[in-house]
């Protein structure tokens, strides 16, 4: 179940609880109601829906609980309040059905029940809704469909889950295209499938594509430079790259030569970004050079003439 569905269910539970409580409060507040039956039944039906919804959410939540190795403190509080709701419901049903002499205390139980559900909302569903509203989103493809993922949640997943086997530096040292990141994430998951859920993998991918991605449509010298810093020091120093004087065309040739030394060095889109960087930043101006050459030649000629 996605966090959106869970949050909606949680708000639904609170809503049903409030509706049921309001009906009984109205009934108790009026002395001679003409619609007593309606209020009683509305409260009772609300109560049953509440109970069923509560059981359903509990099953979902217990499944979630299994995913944790260590429960964070707020999850502990959340779990205990959630579990405490069950005896409250049972006591309330028992009093209403079997022990009518405690009938007067029912409104208190009802109130405590609604407050308990209310306390469950802020830490999870509430925070989730706020982050959903404030977040950045990115669209990625998932089995042929486009899905929207929350980048802020993705950042947390990467920071927590991608650092379990190696440092985050190893992640942040790379920039990759979306297919490449997708490949990496599924390879990483294959090493230990339990480390993150399908949903988390999607969120991590969204974050990686958004922040460490190569946009095929957009050339960016920053990206080209990062790829060079990351990949071009494996066989020789980076000095070799940054001290070379080449024209754009010569750079393109050199890059093809390097790719022939190691076919896995760069894929096509990385090569495009690298060439873009080289042409913008490191390329020798052909025109400028020609001028320099002609200047030198004229100067030599002048010397010879003299
Ligand atoms: C189960 C352990 C494990 C987890 C979790 C894991 N990795 Fe890795 N990762 C490895 C291992 C082992 C290697 C080295 C072997 C390889 O490249 O396959 C590696 C290598 C990498 C590399 C290449 C590093 C380099 O210097 O070449 C990147 C990038 C990477 N991981 C990214 C990630 C990302 C992103 C995540 C989270 C989505 C992640 N990893 C989670 C085990 C893991
Ligand atoms: C697989 C090993 C390898 C990798 C990785 C590699 N190079 Fe090279 N590079 C070489 C070798 C070998 C030479 C020497 C070739 C020669 O002198 O003919 C060289 C030489 C060079 C030269 C000087 C050669 C000239 O023609 O002036 C430049 C510039 C260069 N590499 C740039 C890069 C860049 C940019 C990258 C990253 C995209 C890169 N290299 C990655 C192996 C590599």
How large is the average pLDDT for residues 51-64? 93
Digit-coded pLDDT (tens) for 184-224: 999 999 998 888 888 889 999 999 998 888 877 788 888 99
**Nearest ligand to the CA atom of 231:** 2
Give the per-residue pLDDT at 68: 75
> If you take atom 28 of ligand 2, which residue's CA is the nearest one?
241
Distance from the alpha carbon of residue 196 to the mean position of ligand 1, in angstroms: 13
Provide the pLDDT confidence category of residue 71 given band limits of 50, 70 and 90.
confident
Q: Residue range 4-31: average pLDDT?
A: 89
pLDDT digits (tens, 9 = 90+) for 161-194: 999 899 998 898 888 888 899 999 999 999 988 8
Q: Compute the mean pLDDT over every residue in the chain, rounded to the nearest whole number.
A: 87
Nearest to 40 by CA among 59, 58, 27, 30: 27
Cα distances (Å, whole numbers) of residue 187 to 21, 65, 190: 52, 26, 5
For residue 231, the ligand 2 atom closest to its alpha carbon is: 37
- At residue 102, the pLDDT reads 87
Cα separation of 185 and 169, whole Å? 16
Q: Phi-psi category of 146—alpha, beta or left, where left has phi over 0 and alpha has psi -120 to 50?
A: beta
Q: Nearest bound ligand to CA 191? A: 1
């Amino acid at each position: 179940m996605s966090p959106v569905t869970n949050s909606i269910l949680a708000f639904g539970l609170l809503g049903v609880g409030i509706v049921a409580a309001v009906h009984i409060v109205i009934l108790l507040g009026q002395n001679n109601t003409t619609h007593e039956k309606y209020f009683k039944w509305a409260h009772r039906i609300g109560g049953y829906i509440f109970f069923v919804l509560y059981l359903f959410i509990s099953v979902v939540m217990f499944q979630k609980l299994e995913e944790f190795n260590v429960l964070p403190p707020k999850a502990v509080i959340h779990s205990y309040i959630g579990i405490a709701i069950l005896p409250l419901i049972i006591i309330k049903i028992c009093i209403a059905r079997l022990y009518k002499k405690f009938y007067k205390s029912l409104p208190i139980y009802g109130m405590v029940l609604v407050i308990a559900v209310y306390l469950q909302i802020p830490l999870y569903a509430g925070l989730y809704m706020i982050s959903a509203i404030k977040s950045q989103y990115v669209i990625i493809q998932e089995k042929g469909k486009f899905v929207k993922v929350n980048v802020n949640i993705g950042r947390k997943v990467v920071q927590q889950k991608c650092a379990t086997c190696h440092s985050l530096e190893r992640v942040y040292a790379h920039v990759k295209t979306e297919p490449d990141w997708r490949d990496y994430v599924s390879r990483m998951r294959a090493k230990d499938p339990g480390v993150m859920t399908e949903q988390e993998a999607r969120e991590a991918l969204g974050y990686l594509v958004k922040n460490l991605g190569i946009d095929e449509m957009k050339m960016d010298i920053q990206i080209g430079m990062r790829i060079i810093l990351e990949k071009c020091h494996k066989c020789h120093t980076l000095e070799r790259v940054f001290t070379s004087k080449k024209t754009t065309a010569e750079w393109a040739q050199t890059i093809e030569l390097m790719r022939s030394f190691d076919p896995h060095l760069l894929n096509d889109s990385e090569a495009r970004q690298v060439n873009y960087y080289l042409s913008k930043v490191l390329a020798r101006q052909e025109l400028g050079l020609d001028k320099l050459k002609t200047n030198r030649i004229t100067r030599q000629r002048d010397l010879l003439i003299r």
